[in-house]
């Protein structure tokens, strides 16, 4: 039945789009210059992305949303590695490792005009070990005459090489069809949806904020012998830690501990590692060094977690070093720099002294509760009705756009679809979000609101 001018299938369609959970992740890996960035650009269909002429350019953005044949997925681009930091083999392996770790499927790009190199073989070993589905992209096959080059790559033992010209678009459709076959509908495995499974925490923050110190502190003697836990599949890089009587899975801790890979200046790796950890986690504990000014890098990390739609806790570390003056300025900085996450629970900790470690778990639980909150449609509409009556949208061009009804399309994080009689301005949307938060909680979680306008 039509609902205030919206057809039932229109409503359902909107819910379908807004209600998708976490997207499956596709990583694009391969040696430098094989055409990864070109391929990523081709897939996301935007020039926004990449292809840097200068080698060693640090890139912040490593994940993109993409769509093929009506299916959406996340793309992890590993084109931004820094050649100088490590030897070629080591750096390719390191970036591939992080990306593969975070991915549900992998596109392995090889330059067909060059053929398989030792570095390619090294990546193949990694791929085998990871056991993720792989689509082999034989790139730079710009025309039929180079198809034979692609066929040579059967030797890698990864199945059929897909001949592609990322530059001209040739063959990318067929390759993406293969990718969709390899890619699961949803990254179900990585989410703690299994009953009783441990919740997943990503401990993130820029280098030297104290991640490894905090991990050591909380792990202490509490490290759980994993074999004792029935039904847990363990990633070698994840660690089970018991806190507050509950076992948690800290994801990607190898990246924190094994910091030989992460020398100063290797910002790109840090970014990639952060993205990988966030993808695998339900909740991100973002560590900030409270003794220093909040930096652009801190904000980028926050943005990454917010955009990924994870539950978020902010931990201000090194609290033991703060004097009164610094505390004063920190509060001012938080107000101006972290406005966008004013809803995130906050703890002031010291990984060194152990200060307030016991507050970490309650904050994480609060954030996860907000992340999973579902508002029944009846309650939501009673709330919206009152809100709209008490605070109508400003009149524009003689008309008054009105929110007619709404529904929560999903959780983790909460997603709402509002149906309206006209364009709802950004300011009013923010107002609605603020009031939704006041009314229903949502501490520690981003919330998504999309608006459908009746034509
Ligand atoms: P990445 O380092 O793997 O990300 O490689 P890039 O995407 O930066 O590409 C490296 C170089 O190869 C660039 O000069 C691209 O224009 C070129 N390239 C990428 N794909 C193709 C292709 O399909 N055919 C040809 N002829 N050149 C390509
Ligand atoms: P990561 O790079 O984020 O893993 O940071 P680390 O755990 O290696 O810590 C970086 C430096 O900060 C080390 O010298 C730590 O001893 C120091 N540190 C970490 N947490 C604290 C803290 O709470 N208080 C103080 N005073 N120093 C800390």
What's the token pair of residue 308? 């990924």
Report the mean per-residue pLDDT for the chain.
82
Contact 83, 55 (CB under 8 A): yes
Q: What is the residue with the minimal CA distance to atom 12 of ligand 1?
A: 35
pLDDT digits (tens, 9 = 90+) for 61-81: 567 888 888 888 888 877 544
Q: Which atom of ligand 1 is nearest to the CA of 38?
A: 7
pLDDT digits (tens, 9 = 90+) for 130-189: 888 999 999 999 999 888 899 999 999 999 999 999 999 999 999 999 999 998 876 644
Residue whose token pair is 């029944």:
376
What's the token pair of residue 430? 């923010």
The ligand that comes nearest to the alpha carbon of residue 42 is 1
What's the token pair of residue 119? 């570095």
Q: Which atom of ligand 1 is nearest to the CA of 31?
A: 3
pLDDT score, position 375: 92
Determine which helix (DSSP H) or strand (DSSP E) holds 248, and give its type and residue range. Answer: strand 246-250
- Provide the 8-state DSSP code for 334: H
79 lines ligand 1 (CB under 6 A): yes
The ligand that comes nearest to the alpha carbon of residue 165 is 1
pLDDT score, position 292: 96
Q: Which residues line ligand 2 (CB under 6 A)?
A: 205, 207-213, 256, 317-318, 320-321, 350-352
Contact 190, 276 (CB under 8 A): no
Q: Which atom of ligand 1 is nearest to the CA of 165?
A: 23
Confidence of residue 241 (pLDDT cuts 50, 70, 90): confident
Asked if pLDDT for residue 10 goes beyond 70, the answer is no
Nearest CA-CA partner of 365 in 408, 311, 413? 311
The ligand that comes nearest to the alpha carbon of residue 79 is 1
Distance 435 CA to ligand 2 centre (A): 38
Half-sphere exposure of 367 (CA within 13 A, CB side): 34
Determine which helix (DSSP H) or strand (DSSP E) holds 262, and give its type and residue range. Answer: none
**Max Cα-Cα span within the chain:** 72
Nearest CA-CA partner of 317 in 204, 199, 241, 200? 204
Distance 77 CA to ligand 2 centre (A): 30
pLDDT score, position 319: 97
**Binding site membership for GTP: which residues?**
30-37, 77-81, 139-142, 205-212, 252-256, 317-320
Confidence of residue 315 (pLDDT cuts 50, 70, 90): very high
Nearest CA-CA partner of 249 in 294, 198, 324? 198
Distance 184 CA to ligand 1 centre (A): 28
pLDDT digits (tens, 9 = 90+) for 266-298: 566 677 778 888 988 999 999 999 999 999 989
Distance 315 CA to ligand 1 centre (A): 42
Contact 228, 212 (CB under 8 A): no
Asked if pLDDT for residue 106 goes beyond 80, the answer is yes
Confidence of residue 254 (pLDDT cuts 50, 70, 90): low
Q: Which atom of ligand 2 is nearest to the CA of 205?
A: 3
The pTM score is: 0.67
């Amino acid at each position: 039945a039509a609902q205030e001018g919206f057809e039932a299938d229109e409503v359902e369609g909107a819910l379908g789009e807004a209600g998708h959970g976490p997207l499956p992740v596709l990583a694009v890996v391969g040696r430098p210059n094989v055409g990864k960035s070109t391929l990523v650009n081709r897939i996301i269909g935007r020039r926004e992305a990449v292809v840097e002429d200068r080698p060693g350019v640090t890139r912040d953005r490593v994940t993109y949303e993409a769509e093929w044949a009506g299916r959406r997925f996340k793309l992890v681009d590993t084109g931004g590695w820094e050649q100088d930091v490590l030897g070629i083999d080591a750096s390719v392996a390191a970036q591939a490792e992080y990306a593969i770790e975070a991915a549900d499927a992998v596109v392995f790009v090889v330059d067909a005009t060059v053929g398989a190199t030792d570095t390619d073989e090294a990546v193949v070993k990694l791929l085998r070990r990871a056991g993720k589905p792989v689509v082999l992209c034989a790139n730079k096959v710009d025309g039929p005459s180079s198809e034979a080059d692609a066929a040579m790559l059967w030797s890698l033992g990864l199945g059929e090489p897909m001949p592609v010209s990322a530059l001209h678009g040739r063959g990318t459709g067929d390759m993406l069809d293969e990718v969709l076959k390899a890619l699961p509908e949803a990254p179900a495995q990585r989410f703690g949806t299994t009953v009783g499974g441990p919740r997943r925490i990503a401990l993130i923050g820029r280098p030297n904020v104290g991640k490894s110190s905090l991990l050591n502190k909380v792990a202490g003697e509490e490290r759980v012998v994993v074999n004792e836990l029935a039904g847990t599949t363990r990633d070698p890089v994840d660690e089970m830690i018991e806190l507050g009587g509950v076992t948690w899975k800290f994801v990607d801790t190898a990246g924190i501990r094994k910091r030989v890979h992460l020398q100063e200046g290797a910002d790109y790796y840090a970014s990639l590692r952060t993205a990988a950890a966030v993808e695998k986690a339900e909740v991100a504990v973002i560590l900030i060094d409270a003794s220093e000014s909040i930096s652009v890098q801190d904000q980028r990390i926050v943005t990454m977690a917010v955009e990924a739609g994870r539950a978020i806790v902010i931990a201000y570390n090194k609290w033991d070093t703060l004097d009164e003056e610094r505390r004063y300025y920190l509060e001012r900085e938080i107000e101006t720099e972290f406005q966008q996450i004013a809803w995130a629970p906050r703890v002031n900790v010291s990984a060194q002294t152990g200060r307030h470690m016991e507050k970490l778990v309650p904050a994480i639980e609060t954030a996860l509760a907000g992340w999973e909150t579902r508002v029944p449609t009846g309650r939501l509409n009673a709330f919206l009705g009152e809100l709209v009556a008490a605070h109508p949208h400003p009149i524009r061009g003689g008309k008054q756009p009105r929110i007619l009804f709404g529904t929560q399309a999903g959780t983790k994080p909460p997603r709402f679809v509002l149906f309206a009689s006209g364009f709802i301005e950004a300011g009013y949307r923010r107002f609605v979000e603020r009031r939704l938060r006041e009314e229903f909680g949502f501490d520690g979680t981003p919330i998504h609101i999309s608006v459908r306008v009746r034509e």
